[in-house]
Amino acid sequence: MTKQELQQLYKCEILPENEKPYHFQKSLEASFSIEAYNAICGDKYTLYFDISEGQISSVYFYGIGCALSKASISIMCKNMENLNPENIINLSKKFISGMNPEHPSKPINKKIQLLQKLKDFNGRGDCIKLGWEAVKNHFENNEV
Amino acid sequence: MVTAQSQFDLYENANIHRGMYDLSNQATKKFENARTQTARFLGCNNADTIAFTQGTTASINIVAQSFLAPRLQVGDNIVTTIMEHHANFIPWQMLAKKYQIELRIAPMNKDGDLDLIELKSLIDHKTQLLAVSHVSNTLGTIHPLDEITRLAKNKEIPILIDAAQSACHFEIGVDSLNCDFLTFSGHKMFGPFGVGILQVSEKYLGDMIPFNFGGGIIKDVQIEKTSFRNFPHNLDAGTPNVSGVIGLAAALKLISDIGKSDMESHLNNLTLFALDQLPQVPGIEIIGNPKKRIGIISFNLKNIHPHDIASFLNKDGIALRAGMHCTQPLLRSMGLQATARISFSIYNKEEEINKLILSLKELINFWS
Ligand SMILES: Cc1ncc(COP(=O)(O)O)c(C=O)c1O
């Protein structure tokens, strides 16, 4: 990825999402919360899930991290609302496998596709996957 | 370094202390010459004070397991500082937990200097080790080792110095630094990866007992019992990294040829130049303002995370480390989550600092 391509992607996708992230606030009344923490770099977010009749009705998040992890979690939160736990696991699996440079990205939607363009952006895959991995692990290992 | 190592790998490859053939004898000779050369590099005539290890982390863990663990008793304490690399922190934390002893941690002030009054108050007759770095890998602080070692030596307490960040450009050695254990890594001084040094003072050579068992370290093995060789030959059970050690010796020669004081003054000039120039970057916060600092400057930019800084500067050909630098206790004590870190080597130039500043300014413009 050239510097110009990187700038373009940041300007159009990452920075707007980073500046005005979706549902970026603590939600202490939420049904449950998940911690997304990268111990190597210190990025740390709490994701707040509300569940109603077997479906995730809202997702909020709050914390500190780089523009990429924040933008990625913001996009993730929007995409996880109104899904049931099984679909959340499937979506996160699809996203994470699409982030593997060896795998072709599977189209999910335009925003996510743009985010996945950054998979060739060396060394930052963990930032982009941070929230998704935390959600996948939680939903796979816990009864919701 | 590369030539010395590949010469060995290509034409002289043989295991040491084993064969009765020329190639093996020659390899043994080179390996042991490297030990003598390392001792000399550390201002010491006794090559038996030098053990080759896998690096600083391994050296520190050896001291923890071989020297310290067997002498710990409930009620004892180990003193270290909040500024240490995890390599000089977690091994002591683990021992403290296992042997139910106290880990005492000296704080620093907001400038990034160790609080020596606090440090002094932590050391008492139950202290079994003082472990401190020479130069902080996050703030670049040069610790006043003269004062620090005096605090422990007055009470006859063994001292470990982590010289990973200073071995290249400061005169070091257990004698010159007045310490008992000295640790550093090859890859931070133009040597190979995965090889490092542990130097032990003559006073404690007999206290280094083997803990990693196998061939190469023994005098005699019977079914009932084994007797071991002395330090340093009782540590490296199995086959050591022979070509790595030969490469490290070549790196030490390179450093001696260039001259440590020239390296120090070059790094010092670059550090001062950068500290003078960096404030022109809008919104920059230089982390810490220690009394003495060399080679390393951590900073943050307003609203731009260190990872994003590093990624964009990478596109301008600038390699900057971002994150916690394996010093989470230090960053937490400063209320920081991450920093971007500049570190200099002898090949860096002032023009590169100017280029770094231009890149940072461009990034800030782009971001806003
Ligand atoms: C001060 C300090 N101590 C210890 C280490 C660990 O060194 P190694 O990874 O070579 O074992 C480092 C590495 O960055 C360091 O800077």
Structural domain containing residue A74: 3-141
The pLDDT score that the predictor gives to residue A123 is: 77
Cα(A119) to centroid of ligand 1, in Å?
30
CB proximity list for B335: less than 8 A, separation 6 or greater: none
Q: What is the CATH number of the domain that holds B342?
A: 3.90.1150.10
Cis peptide before B282 (omega within 30 of 0): no
Tokens of A119: 């998979």
Residue B18: what residue type?
A: R
More confident of the two residues A104 and B40: B40
The pLDDT score that the predictor gives to residue B137 is: 98
Structural domain containing residue B265: 260-367
Indicate whether B234 and B291 sit together in one domain: no
Give the ligand 1 atom nearest the CA of B187.
10
Indicate whether B237 and B289 sit together in one domain: no
The answer to whether B321 and B314 are in contact (CB under 8 A) is no
Q: Residue B311 and residue A124: Cβ atoms within 8 Å?
A: yes
Q: Is B162 in the pocket of ligand 1 (CB under 6 A)?
A: yes
Q: Are strands B77-81 and B159-162 parallel, antiparallel or unpaired?
A: unpaired
More confident of the two residues B179 and A54: B179
Q: Are strands B50-53 and B159-162 parallel, antiparallel or unpaired?
A: unpaired
Q: Are strands B77-81 and B102-106 parallel, antiparallel or unpaired?
A: parallel
Q: Which residues of B touch A (CB under 8 A)?
A: 304-308, 311-312, 314-316, 322-324, 328, 331, 337-338, 366-367
Q: What is the DSSP string of B299-367?
A: EEETTB-HHHHHHHHHHTT---EEE-TT-HHHHHHTT-S-EEEEE--TT--HHHHHHHHHHHHHHHHHH
Measured between beta carbons, the chain B residues lying within 8 angstroms of A121 are 311
The Cα B32–Cα B20 span in angstroms is: 16
pLDDT in tens, B112-125: 999 999 999 999 99
Catalytic, out of B44, B168, B179, B326: B326
The pLDDT score that the predictor gives to residue A100 is: 85
Indicate whether B230 and B175 sit together in one domain: yes
CB proximity list for B276: less than 8 A, separation 6 or greater: none
- In the predicted model, what is the mean pLDDT of residues B202-223? 93
pLDDT in tens, A67-123: 999 999 999 999 999 999 999 999 999 999 988 878 777 778 888 888 888 887 777
Q: What is the CATH number of the domain that holds B61?
A: 3.40.640.10
Which of B138, B131, B139 is CA-nearest to residue B158? Answer: B131
The answer to whether B95 and B76 are in contact (CB under 8 A) is no
The answer to whether B141 and B232 are in contact (CB under 8 A) is no
- Report the chain A residue with the minimal C-alpha distance to residue B315: A3
> Could you give the number of structural domains in chain B?
2
Q: Which of B227, B258, B289 is the last residue of a domain?
A: B258
Does the pLDDT at position B237 exceed 90?
no
- Is B326 annotated in the active site? yes
The pLDDT score that the predictor gives to residue B104 is: 98
The pLDDT score that the predictor gives to residue B21 is: 87
pLDDT in tens, B78-89: 999 999 999 999
Indicate whether B269 and B179 sit together in one domain: no
Q: Are strands B339-343 and B321-323 parallel, antiparallel or unpaired?
A: antiparallel
The pLDDT score that the predictor gives to residue B55 is: 97
3-class secondary-structure state, position B36:
helix
Average pLDDT of chain B? 96
Q: Which of B235, B258, B281 is the last residue of a domain?
A: B258
> Could you give the number of structural domains in chain A?
1
